[in-house]
Amino acid sequence: MMHRYLLGWIVWVLLPLGTYAAETMEEAEEAVLKAAGLPTDGPGLAVYFKKRSTTVANEERIKEWIRRLGDDDFKTREEASRKLVMLGPRARPFLQAALKDSDAEIVRRAQDCLARIAQDTSVTALSAAVRVLARRRPPAAAAVLLNYLPFAEDERVVENIYQVLPDLAVRDGKVEPALVAALTDQAAVKRAAAGAALASLPLAEASGIALAPRGPSVRKLLLDPDAQVRLRVGLALAARGDKDAVPVLIRLIDEVPLERNGLVLELLDRLADGKPPPGMPVADQQAPQKCRQAWEAWWKDHHDKIEPAHLERASRALGFTLLVLLDLNTVELLDRAGNLRWKITDALMPLDVQWLPDGQHVLLAEYQAKCVSERNLKGETVWKKAVDGPLMAQRLPSGHTFIATPHQLMEVDKNGKEVWTYSRPDGGSFMRATKLHDGDIACIVQFGGVVRSRYVRLTPAGKDFKESKSWDVQVRTSGGRIDVLANGHVLIPEMDNNRVVEYDADGQSVWEVRLDQPIAAVRLPNGNTLVTLMRENRAVEVDRAGKEIWQFKTDTRVTRALRR
């Protein structure tokens, strides 16, 4: 099956959470299970998932169960109701159609089934049950989860299963037999999960075992007829530094729509250090063949230069989302299944955040604290620069840090010493800024209070800067960076106009999407756009047609959302 969420296509890579955080998480997950009336022991959870793994329920079978809701035999009606409720959300459209049936008993039971499904175990509880089962490690854990995969009601639950299976891949010093058997299963989702789990095993763990994780049994799945299998296994092998997986992933660009191929394109973008190959159709999701050809040419030129360790680093935490909840002084990281991986809760009005390349630190522009800080994942400050009113902070490849305040742009070295500063000679104040790969600076400048704002591109001119591009934009909120694409196009969130606009390099609008009060927008490698919305307390990912692909919603403002 092809997943709706981009968060669902790669083996999980564990990030350090700390002992206390892990204990707290385990206690919280057990509390969720108890509240949902689910068992918390390994055997009990195994039995629970076995019950949810019913026989394959195709459309005709579900319709037959609907018909049996009106059977003359009470036990038959009860059994049909039970099976439909066990199907969960998959049965919902058929039950809704049954509400129009002429048989009053079918209508009554359909209503009852819909109500019970609505009250059934939540996605949160099911995801927690998957993780607790994996921690308890009863002998049947891997087999139970593999068998449940085709019946999982929600893609977040599916992703959690993909995450935990690598931890269950070895039992009693041997590769888990259920995973080996699943490599040739008829269900593509089981082949994909088993292959990805076994591909994630270090070779050292498989010494003396007949099946080598990256041996023929797994690697042959790179030729599987199902694109999902090749995608999952290819990404898992890439995460182990297997360069042979990269051409397979590149070929998938033609088979999987670009807007749904986020993790492959994110991986390639990281390998290229954020610099897409020449000729890349940056703004055109209707040209997958050109995109694939551009990356194939790039890989041919760079194959020998990419070390396995570089490929492993680029594969870490693909699809993870970094969020800023400004009113809570919080920065948090979500994995592909929407699970919280870590958070920092004492960042004083963080207007900008950058997840640094090592994956272990973040850079924060803390407006109220009057500083730019570098924190580790425990929230501890490891570097700090005192700055009055920082709006954004950007760690540069040189190790220097670029900072913007309302009245000044500056660059500081690793010791916090100022390398250069720049202020507007016309008295304009900075609202947002980004330093680009070529040394130019893109910024939003405000003139005359809230009267007027402009997008300005500054080009170095000796010890000063000159304006190389400039046009009016409608931006009212300050803080954060501005996204300038590889082709020179610029993304501008116009909150008061309820739209995000893409301008070309000369200031002409070439694309827009209508959204309610957007305050920040970034373009993802697959051409989708990640936007935070002021009034709706949401971050959303939309494709070029404006269709939502992913969302995060909470009860407080989501002011920044980034994919590393």
- pLDDT for the residue numbered 232: 94
Provide the β-strand partners of residue 499: 494, 514
- pLDDT for the residue numbered 1: 33
pLDDT in tens, the chain (564 residues): 333 333 333 333 333 333 334 457 788 889 989 888 889 999 999 998 887 775 445 678 889 999 999 999 999 999 899 888 877 777 888 999 999 999 999 999 999 998 887 765 677 888 999 999 999 999 999 999 999 998 787 788 899 999 999 999 998 888 999 999 999 999 999 999 999 999 988 754 443 344 455 566 898 999 999 999 999 999 999 999 999 999 999 999 989 887 778 899 999 999 998 888 887 776 566 688 888 999 999 999 999 999 999 999 999 899 999 999 999 999 999 998 888 899 999 999 999 999 998 889 999 999 999 999 999 999 999 999 999 999 999 999 999 999 999 999 999 999 999 999 999 998 899 999 999 999 999 999 998 765 689 999 999 998 899 999 999 999 989 999 999 998 899 999 999 999 999 999 999 999 999 999 999 999 999 889 999 999 999 999 999 899 998 989 999 999 999 997
Q: Cα(158)–Cα(146) distance, rounded to whole angstroms?
A: 10
Amino acid symbol at 99: L
Label residue 497 exposed, middle or buried (CB < 10 Å: 0-12, 13-18, 19+).
middle
Provide the β-strand partners of residue 402: 394, 411
Element (H, E) at 94: helix 92-98
- Tens digit of pLDDT for each residue in 250-268? 999 989 887 778 899 999 9
Architecture label for domain 321-342+393-563: 6 Propeller (2.120)
Q: Do residues 39 and 48 lie in contact, with contact meaning Cβ atoms separated by under 8 Å? A: yes
Q: Do residues 182 and 88 lie in contact, with contact meaning Cβ atoms separated by under 8 Å? A: no
- Residue in 168, 101, 179 with CA at minimum distance from that of residue 130: 168
- pLDDT for the residue numbered 524: 93
- Nearby residues of 339 by Cβ (< 8 Å), 6 or more positions away: 127, 160
Q: Counting every residue, how long is the chain?
A: 564
Compute φ and ψ for 16, nearest 5 degrees. Answer: -70, 130
Q: Cα(14)–Cα(359) distance, rounded to whole angstroms?
A: 11
Q: Cα(335)–Cα(319) distance, rounded to whole angstroms?
A: 7
Contacts 24+ apart (CB under 8 A), 489-495: 489/282, 489/283, 490/442, 490/455, 491/521, 491/522, 491/523, 491/529, 492/455, 492/521, 493/518, 493/519, 493/520, 493/521, 493/531, 494/518, 495/519, 495/534
Provide the β-strand partners of residue 562: 322
CATH fold of 59-118: Leucine-rich Repeat Variant (1.25.10)
Q: Cα(239)–Cα(316) distance, rounded to whole angstroms?
A: 7
- pLDDT for the residue numbered 87: 74
- Nearby residues of 62 by Cβ (< 8 Å), 6 or more positions away: 84, 87, 90, 91, 94
Is the four-CA dihedral 278, 316, 28, 147 of positive or negative sign? positive
| Burial state string for 451-479 with b = 16 or more CB within 10 A and e = fewer than 16 | eebbbbbbeeeeeebeeebeeebebebbb
- Residue range(s) in the chain whose domain bears CATH number 1.25.10: 59-118
Compute φ and ψ for 533, nearest 5 degrees. Answer: -120, 125
Which residue bears the tokens 């690793």?
Answer: 414
- pLDDT for the residue numbered 217: 80
Q: Do residues 128 and 121 lie in contact, with contact meaning Cβ atoms separated by under 8 Å? A: no
Q: Is 384 helix (H, G, I), strand (E, B) or coil?
A: strand
Distances (CA, A) of 184 to 214, 217, 252: 16, 9, 21
- Residue range(s) in the chain whose domain bears CATH number 2.120.10.30: 321-342+393-563
Q: Do residues 129 and 136 lie in contact, with contact meaning Cβ atoms separated by under 8 Å? A: no
